[in-house]
């Protein structure tokens, strides 16, 4: 498919999704959100896609939702907008494949929330993160009130949301939001290296682990550990398990088939 607001390319198992509205710092309008929802569904269905990389064109990852588009929203229109945003974030969070955010610049508001829906966040030294919604008299609407607390803890999440503080990449790494920080010119190549490393692992195991870790965040520990037991044992019925263990014992590289 072709998309109006994003670039989409699949190469060597990696789906590169680039939000392409640099003139407005890649702001998340309804058109962008609909394109992201469609591309997430396309990447999920494509058996050639093993890992997804999200990034932004120009000097921003995503500088937030489209404020101009929101100005005259009624409460019902705002509800439809937040439901659309949540649908997008859920689609990437629940994808069976690993999703890596390569944050090249501003990741504010909905942009930070898109990062939080990814499996890993990698940032350039030029990256900035924040939830500035309360400067507008509103609040985060695409998941930050929940996902940010899971990543950095409830107290730090409250502080970032209430104060609207913008933090740099190094501070984001210090608080556990960002996995690694790279020079700006190295960001995509370094994230691509991470993607290739992940692609070399068992895709059935990654899909099961991602699903169970996400579900486990919202339930009691005993129930979450039971999910792990079920997921672990179910993988022993896959071809990938047999290939992975055989490759280890034979001291060769595994050739996983996602079966």
The residues that are catalytic are 113, 133
Least Cα distance to 259 among 200, 199, 204, 208 occurs for: 204
* Tokens, residue 149: 């607390």
- Number of neighbours of residue 258 by Cβ within 10 angstroms: 15
CA-based torsion, 108, 110, 112, 114: positive or negative: negative
Angle at 85 between CA 81 and CA 90, to 5 degrees: 145
CB 202 within 8 A of CB 240: yes
Query: Buried b / exposed e across 150-163, counting CB within 10 Å, b at 16+?
Result: ebbeeeebeebbee
DSSP alpha helices (H): ranges in the chain?
30-45, 67-70, 75-93, 110-116, 144-152, 154-163, 169-174, 187-199, 203-216, 221-234, 239-249
CB 200 within 8 A of CB 240: no
Measured between alpha carbons, how far is 247 from 252 in angstroms, rounded to an integer? 5
Measured between alpha carbons, how far is 244 from 153 in angstroms, rounded to an integer? 36
């Amino acid at each position: 498919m072709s998309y109006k607001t994003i670039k989409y390319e699949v190469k060597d198992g990696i789906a590169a999704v680039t939000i392409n509205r640099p003139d407005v710092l890649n702001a998340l309008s309804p058109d962008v959100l609909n394109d992201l929802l469609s591309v997430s569904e396309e990447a999920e269905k494509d058996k050639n896609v093993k890992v997804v990389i999200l990034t932004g064109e120009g000097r921003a990852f995503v500088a937030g939702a489209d404020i101009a588009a929101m100005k005259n929203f009624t409460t019902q229109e705002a509800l439809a907008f937040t439901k659309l945003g949540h649908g997008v974030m859920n689609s990437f969070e629940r994808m069976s494949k690993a999703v890596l955010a390569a944050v090249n610049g501003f990741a504010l508001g909905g942009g930070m929330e898109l990062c939080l829906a990814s499996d890993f966040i990698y940032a350039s030294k030029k990256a900035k993160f924040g939830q500035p919604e309360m400067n507008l008299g509103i609040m985060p609407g695409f998941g930050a009130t929940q996902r940010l607390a899971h990543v950095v803890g409830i107290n730090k999440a409250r502080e970032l949301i209430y104060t609207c503080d913008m933090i740099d990449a190094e501070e984001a790494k210090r608080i556990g939001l960002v996995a690694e920080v790279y020079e700006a010119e190295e960001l995509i190549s370094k994230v691509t290296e991470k993607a290739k490393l992940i692609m070399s692992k068992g895709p059935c195991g990654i899909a099961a682990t991602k699903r169970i870790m996400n579900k486990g965040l919202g339930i009691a520990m005993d129930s979450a550990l039971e999910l792990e037991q079920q997921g672990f044992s179910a993988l022993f019925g896959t071809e990938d398990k047999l290939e992975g263990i055989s490759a280890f014992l034979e001291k060769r590289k595994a050739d996983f088939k996602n079966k």
